[in-house]
Amino acid sequence: MPRVKSLLAAFALSSILLAQVPFTQGNLVVVRVGTGVAALTSAAQATFLDEYTTAGVLVQTVAMPTALSGSNLACTNAGTATSEGSLNISADSRFFTLAGYSAAPGTLAIAGTTSVAVPRVIARVGSDGVINTSTSINNVFSAGAMRSAVTDNGNQFFACGSNSGVQFATLGGTTSAAASSALPTNLRCLGIYQSQLYCSSASGTYLGVSSVGVGLPTTAQPITILPGFPTTTGPSSYDFFFADATTCYVADDRVSASGGGIQKWVLSGSTWALAYTLAPLATSTRYLSGTVIGGVVTLYATSTVATGNAILSVVDAGVSSPFTTVATTLANTALRGIRVLAARAAVSFSGTGSPTTVGIPTVGTTGGLPYLGNSAFTLTAGNMPAFNIGFMAIGLGLVQSVGIPLPGAPASFNLYVNPIANTVLLITDALGNATLPLGLPSASAMAGLPLAVQVISYDGLMLDQLPLGASIAMQILLGQW
């Protein structure tokens, strides 16, 4: 398979280029509030992103702005508001996001200010280290905290806090629009998984993880608690991590005797059920991230100690899995939101197909998501003439937003993969299907690389000069879980 070998060689080259950035793939990035000089209070505090290796070595500290600089606003957090400081990372690992206040350190009772006087700020920090705090919200979140912000592409954002529900904002804007309707309005953390927006809360009958509308809503849509998650008083859910479509870990900051720690929820049929709780000794958890490599789930969380708290890790091998302290911050500072700099594996589709005499060819995958180390990952093609030839066009990069026609091919034919892509010959079976095994290596530096795929089918019964049909386009994102 020389074409596949050249593709993997391109992967290797691209991964080398991708790794040469201020934040390193596979490392932990955590929000730190406070400088350590004075005790934390409800006043605004300087906020930082600290990067650690998973072995606990501090790599670097990136300071959020504390004063207006060009289009960048200050981005600070309250020192004692433990629900502030959530951290998110976009699916392609290009951007971290966090929420704060456009206020100088020392501004008193910062959460009680109005958003007109003190706009709430969404900070976007690129994996290349570039900080953008030009996005603010001055029409909601008054007399309350904006706790969490998330983005799918770095240009549009979703935010939530102690009031105002979920809000939608765009890069560089100063106002937002409601993305959720009705209750709950008091929310804690946001997250995006498989292009669906989720939130956590411990308000009213919403005491776990909920979906927000369908997909990524830009207008007001209902919040719906995932079936099986609790609706009665007790749980205190914060950050969450989807290991896959049927496994969700939730950080609960209650003491372990009351159910706190990292809860493992499993989807069975259409209902989620609590499998067990991973409980650290003498503390609990509030913010959470993780990886799934080769089927092994490793979780990273920040503990609930008020100041001088720790990053904890645990490999989920069952209910009694032991926690390890990765790193501890200084007194008079607090670690809050945490994320592993690793893109999530994902597959999505776009574009329109072009039929042969047997219909529109199909493209897909088997063997699970395209996570690094998944040796079973396979590309599939179908609905082509039996015992015939076709091609798998595979390009390193994004699917083309506008299809490219081919002279002589049917008018409906569009190529969505870069024309210089690798092409692999396919031979169909009696059912018109073909497969292409593409086992993925365990190379964390490749996380975030995009792969565009399209199936092209030859059909000699067609009357066109180029008797070709094509599938829709498939976008693959290589990831660590």
Q: What is the pLDDT of residues 391-404, one digit of tens each?
A: 999 999 889 989 99
pTM for the model stands at 0.79
d(CA 233, CA 432): 55
User: Which two three-digit tokens encode residue 471?
Assistant: 């599938």
User: Which two three-digit tokens encode residue 398?
Assistant: 């994004």
d(CA 119, CA 101): 6
Give the 3-state DSSP-derived string for the chain, with helices as H, strands as E and coil as C.
CHHHHHHHHHHHHHHHHHHCCCCCCCCEEEEEECCCCCCCCCCEECEEEEEECCCCCEEEEEECCCCCECCECCCEEECCCCCCCCCEECCCCCEEEEEEECCCCCCCCHHHCCCCCCCEEEEEEECCCCEEEEEEECCCCCCCCEEEEEECCCCEEEEEECCCCCEEEECCCCCCEECEECCCCCCCCEEEECCEEEEECCECCECCEEEECCCCCCCCEEEEECCCCCCCCCCCEEEEEEEECCEEEEEECCCHHHCCEEEEEEEECCEEEEEEEECCCCCCEEEEEEEEECCEEEEEEEECCCCCCEEEEEECCCCCCCEEEEEECCCCCEEEEEEECCCCCEEEEECCCECECCECCEEEEECCCCECCCCCCEEEEECCCCCCEEEEEEEECCCCCCCECCCCCCCCCCECCCCCCEEEEEECCCCCCEEEECCCCCCHHHCCCEEEEEEEEECCCCCCCCCEEECCEEEEECECC
For the chain, which residues make up each domain, given as ranges? 26-340, 346-477
Q: Which residue has the tokens 């093609």?
A: 381
Query: Radius of gyration of the chain from Cα atoms?
Result: 24
Q: What is the dihedral of CA 222, 153, 136, 114, to 10 degrees?
A: 30
pLDDT band at 252 (very low <50, low <70, confident <90, very high): very high
CATH class belonging to 26-340:
mainly beta
**Of the candidates 399, 404, 425, which has an alpha carbon nearest to the alpha carbon of residue 477?**
399
Q: Is the pLDDT of residue 248 over 50?
A: yes
Query: Phi and psi of 125, rounded to 5°?
Result: -115, 115
Taking residues 272-287, report their average pLDDT. Answer: 97
User: Which two three-digit tokens encode residue 50?
Assistant: 């600290």
Q: What is the pLDDT of residues 2-31, one digit of tens each?
A: 334 333 333 333 332 333 348 988 899 999
Long-range contacts of residues 273-280, Cβ cutoff 8 Å, at least 24 apart: 273/228, 276/318, 276/319, 277/252, 277/319, 278/314, 278/316, 278/319, 278/321, 278/323, 280/256, 280/312, 280/314, 280/323
The answer for residues whose C-beta is within 8 angstroms of residue 433's C-beta and 6 or more apart is: 380, 381, 382, 383, 384
Provide the pLDDT for residue 6: 39
Provide the pLDDT for residue 1: 41
**Of the candidates 400, 354, 360, which has an alpha carbon nearest to the alpha carbon of residue 381?**
360
Q: Is the pLDDT of residue 343 over 90?
A: no
* Region at 92 (left for phi over 0; alpha for psi -120 to 50; beta for the rest): alpha
| Residues present in the chain in total | 481
Taking residues 144-151, report their average pLDDT. Answer: 98
Provide the pLDDT for residue 334: 98
Provide the pLDDT for residue 212: 98
pLDDT band at 481 (very low <50, low <70, confident <90, very high): low
Provide the pLDDT for residue 393: 95
Per-chain mean pLDDT for the chain: 92
Taking residues 342-354, report their average pLDDT. Answer: 89
What is the number of other CB atoms lying within 10 angstroms of the CB of residue 38?
A: 13
CATH number for the segment(s) 346-477: 2.60.40
How much of the chain, in percent, has pLDDT values that exceed 90?
A: 82
Find out whether 104 and 163 touch, Cβ atoms under 8 Å: no
* Region at 408 (left for phi over 0; alpha for psi -120 to 50; beta for the rest): left
How much of the chain, in percent, has pLDDT values that exceed 70?
A: 95
Taking residues 198-225, report their average pLDDT. Answer: 97
Find out whether 63 and 34 touch, Cβ atoms under 8 Å: no
Q: Is the pLDDT of residue 474 over 90?
A: yes
Which range (3-12, 248-257, 299-308) has the least confidence?
Answer: 3-12
Find out whether 400 and 457 touch, Cβ atoms under 8 Å: no
Provide the pLDDT for residue 427: 97
Instruction: Report the Cα 116 to chain-centroid distance in Å.
Output: 30
Q: Which residue has the tokens 């998973």?
A: 54
Q: Is the pLDDT of residue 100 over 90?
A: yes
